[in-house]
């Protein structure tokens, strides 16, 4: 049951949209195709073992680690808009 001006099921629609966005983002980060022999960012050689272990690898370990750490610090958009989250 929705309250106020919201229609029935509005909360579930927001949850579904958040999950769909997260799945879409995760799928976009999955590498595909042939692995590169050199890093796209720094040009360093990518070890053969990494190329075989990670299909479609584009970055060396150092650049991939840097990218992963910067993605973790990125904040996500709060679709819930609850009063508790707005006060923080």
Q: What is the pLDDT of residues 25-83, one digit of tens each?
A: 888 877 778 889 999 999 999 999 999 888 889 999 999 999 888 876 655 555 555 55
Q: Is 20 domain-assigned?
A: no
Domain count, the chain: 1
Measuring CA to CA, which residue among 14, 16, 58, 20 is closest to residue 40?
58
50 is in which domain, residue-wise?
32-72
Residue 45 has φ and ψ, to the nearest 5°, of -70, 140
Residue 64 lies in a domain: yes
Residue 50 lies in a domain: yes
In a domain, 49, yes or no: yes
In a domain, 84, yes or no: no
Residue 79 falls inside a structural domain: no
- pTM score: 0.51
Q: Is residue 21 a part of any domain in this protein? A: no
- How is residue 74 written in tokens? 């990125």
* CA dist list (Å): 57 to 8, 24, 31, 41, 72: 45, 19, 6, 12, 20
**Looking at residue 42, what is its pLDDT?**
94
**52 falls within a domain:** yes
């Amino acid at each position: 049951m929705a309250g106020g001006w919201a229609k029935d099921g509005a909360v579930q629609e927001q949850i579904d949209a958040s999950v769909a966005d997260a799945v879409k983002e995760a799928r976009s980060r999955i590498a595909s195709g042939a692995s590169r022999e050199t890093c796209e960012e720094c040009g360093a050689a990518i070890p053969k073992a990494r190329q075989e272990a990670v299909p479609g690898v584009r970055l060396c370990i150092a650049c991939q680690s840097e990218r992963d750490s910067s993605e973790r610090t990125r904040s996500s958009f709060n679709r819930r808009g609850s009063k508790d989250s707005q006060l923080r």
